[in-house]
Structure 1
Amino acid sequence: MSTFTPARRGPGALARALAVAVAAVVVLTGCGGNASDSDSAEAKPGAAAAGFPVSIKHGHGTTTIKQKPKRVVAVSWMSLDVVAALGTVPVGVDKQWGGDKQGYTPWFRGTVEKLGGPLPETLNYGDAGEIDFEQILSLEPDLIVGLYSGISDVDYKRLSEIAPTLPYLKKPWDGGTWQEMTRTIGAALGETEKAESLVTDVQGQLASVASDHPEFKDTTFTYGVALTPGSTDLGLYVDYDARVRLLTEMGFKNTPSMKAIASTVKGTNWYGGISLEKLDSIEADIFVGWANGPDEVPYTLKDPLFTRWKPIAGKHYAFVQDPAMGMATSGPSVLSIPWAIERYVPMLVDAVSGKGNTGADK
């Protein structure tokens, strides 16, 4: 059975996994005619689009896009944001965790409305996460993009029969940094210069956050997930997770204490766990956490083992409760980062200053 499970890496997935048990290299090549990979020229960031065909290497091989795509299906997270930011309204997208009743995030909906295009059709999945290939076929795409996904060999072959498909770049559920994703999709759409401009702009916004808040510089942090009834371990995200990367781009420093936990992470997991009784071994100035509902933060802040941990005892914490904020910071993109900054920064200021921020109404 072919399954995709688009929500596989949602913040709640970590909590569920812990209840049961306790960056990518991008190669873009532009080629003409039937040129092989060996004689393809590498597409350099910032260079003008080399034209089509364009070949892009990824975890399942190489995909060649013969002409500029006009009908794009974007599966999973972030890819749809990049496609829209580059000026193309996708014809099909996944319903986004943290989105509105129709499944669209505010930053994606707003961008589509500015482009004047209709909102895309949302994709269907079976109970076990099976891809609805017939639906995708009916959308008549000329490109399928799912950089932040776990598209299997079987799914990739079937999707490629429908249209050129870009799955994850190196390993499942690791699409690279948001910068790499933007540049890769920019090459696929023939919008290399525009992609580089977007990257430069958003990097500038993040750099401004760091310069405007010198108190963030080298402040150590660890990013985890709120506790749930019965929790005996705290789930913590490792350094290559997108949530962690985003904080480092604002000037924060991932605590060196996470290295021991990261060394135990196997396969494609993006998190580790530590017993609440051993939390003192994690030295961090602040704790940033994600909560899967309004009841989890109060529960977490009443746990006697958790609250004696230094960053919590000193009220150096911030929790992300709002689903849209959770999505924006868990799957950062050139669209979601600007939307999130104005909401995220005040929460982080509270954490650094020892005011504590539960994320209520944020």
Structure 2
Amino acid sequence: MPISRSATAIALSALTVLALAGCATSAADGGDAAANEADAGAFPVTIEHAFGETTIESKPERVATVAWSNQEVPIALGVVPVGMAEVTWGDDDGDGVLPWVEDALEEIGAETPVLFDETDGIDFEAVADTQPDVILAAYSGLTQEEYDTLSKIAPVVAYPEVPWGTSYEDMIRLNSTALGLADEGDALIEELNSEVDAALADFPELAESKVLFSYIDPSDFSQIGFYTSLDTRPGFLVDLGLPLPAVVEEESTGTDQFYTTVSAEQADRFGDVDVFVTYGDASGSIIEQLQADPLLSQIPAIAAGHIAILEESTPLAASANPSPLSIGWGIHDYFAVLAGALD
């Protein structure tokens, strides 16, 4: 269910990452003594986050990650986690690993790490069993209690301000700093931003489009659910310069929630939306259902069929939450789906 799972925040708040000066080299050549010495020079490092601050005294050798996407930062930098969250939403082959993560692990010749079952929340015992030196959760919805429990296992890097509201850039900055690879993290951000810009340039029609990322329950059209600007999906588009629909801007003000609902009786508030993005089945039947509804059909974008369908629980739907490894895998296809709704 996409609502409970995720969320790039418009709140690129001023992260304060306090680190001692030091250089870092690629973790992929961990056998090089000089490289290890350079990495170690970045420590101790102190990272501020929503629950205070975490100090990592020395270069972590065993890295565990929880929640969504955090494992992609170390893997992208050549560091294989000892354990990471098992994925159930968006997994294409039932192995608990998203395809872009599979590709990256194969590329560096690594086996799949221990997978933590988070169906009913964080499996603290399983995390502890991997004996990590650090736990990465810069993109997550950790509660204070979960943070405190994890902190008894190892130092924890939590989200900077808003649950599920960390941009992929800030996730990379926080997690890479914790690994002593801040320079490599910055280089990765620059590379990914270039890929995103190049992909968006192929779809100039999106540049001024107001995109509303919704979740509409086919069994209940009385409410229009959508993600606020604190969520990574609309936040990512805003960071690219796409304008927010008025209703998203209004409902995002003064809230710390990444998702909200509005009564369908207020359908007139969605008049400036150019593209509705929602999850649905491959048949696209949700479009016909929305157009047949007496209230929702009054929304111009719905009446015109400007509805982008992300097939439920597919990798492409999962990639709508941009992450270090998913961008190279599917950002062009994602933009193509959005732009196709304007045709």
State the distance in 2 between where 1:278 and 1:151 align: 33
Counterpart AA for 2:211:
F
Q: How far does residue 126 in structure 1 lie from its aligned partner after superposition?
A: 7.1
Helix, strand or coil at the partner of 1:304: coil
C-alpha distance after superposition, 1:218-239 (max 9, x if no partner): 2222221133213301112111
Residue matched to 2:190: 200
Q: Which of 75, 95, 103 is residue 110 of structure 1 equivalent to?
A: 103
Q: Is 1:156 aligned with 2:144?
A: no
TM-score by length of 1: 0.80
Root-mean-square deviation (Å) = 2.5
8 Å contact kept, 2:278–2:309? yes
Task: List alignment gaps of at least 5 residues for structure 2.
Answer: 22-37
The within-5 A match list for 1:1-362 is 8-10=4-6, 23=11, 24-31=13-20, 51-96=42-87, 97-99=89-91, 100-125=93-118, 127=120, 129=121, 131-174=122-165, 176-263=166-253, 266=255, 268-291=256-279, 293-294=281-282, 296=286, 298-323=288-313, 324-329=315-320, 331-353=321-343
Count, aligned residues: 317
Match of 1:38 in 2: none
Q: CA deviation at 1:117?
A: 1.1
Residue 318 of structure 1 and its aligned partner are, at CA, apart by 0.8
Per-residue CA deviation, residues 337-361 of structure 1 (Å, 9 max, x unaligned), is: 22221211221221223xxxxxxxx
Q: Distance in 2 between matches of 1:132 and 1:251?
A: 39
CA deviation map 1:50-106 (0-9, x unaligned)? 611111111122111122222111101121111211111111111122123121101
- How far off is 1:248 after superposition? 3.0
Q: 1:282 to 1:298 in 2, by over 3 A?
A: closer
User: 1:91 and 1:302, CA in 2 relative to 1: closer, same or farther beyond 3 A?
Assistant: farther
Aligned equivalents of 2:231 and 2:119: distance in 1? 27
Q: Which amino acid aligns with 2:130?
A: L
* Cα 1:258–1:152 shift into 2, 3 Å: closer
Q: AA paired with 2:307?
A: Y
Separation in 1, partners of 2:201, 2:117: 43
Please tell me the residue identity of whatever aligns with 1:185.
Answer: N
* Deviation for aligned residue 1:298: 4.9
State the AA in 1 paired with 2:228: V
Q: When the two structures are superposed, what TM-score results if normalisation uses the length of structure 2?
A: 0.84
Distance, in Å, in 2 between the alignment partners of 1:228 and 1:259 is: 25
Q: What does the per-residue CA deviation read over 1:305-357, in whole Å, with 9 as the maximum and x for residues that have no partner?
A: 2233101112222111142122211x31121122221211221221223xxxx
Give the distance between the partners of 1:259 and 1:83, measured in 2 at CA.
34
Rounded Cα–Cα distance in structure 2 between residues aligned with 1:349 and 1:200: 25
Unaligned runs of 5+ in 1: 1-5, 12-22, 33-47, 354-362
Could you tell me which residue of structure 1 aligns to residue 26 of structure 2? none
CA positional deviation for 1:187: 0.8
CA contact (8 A) 1:55 1:64 kept: yes
The one-letter code matched in structure 1 to 2:5 is: R
Name the residue aligned to 2:32.
Answer: none
C-alpha distance in structure 2 between counterparts of 1:312 and 1:95, whole Å: 36
What is the SS of the residue equivalent to 2:152? Answer: helix
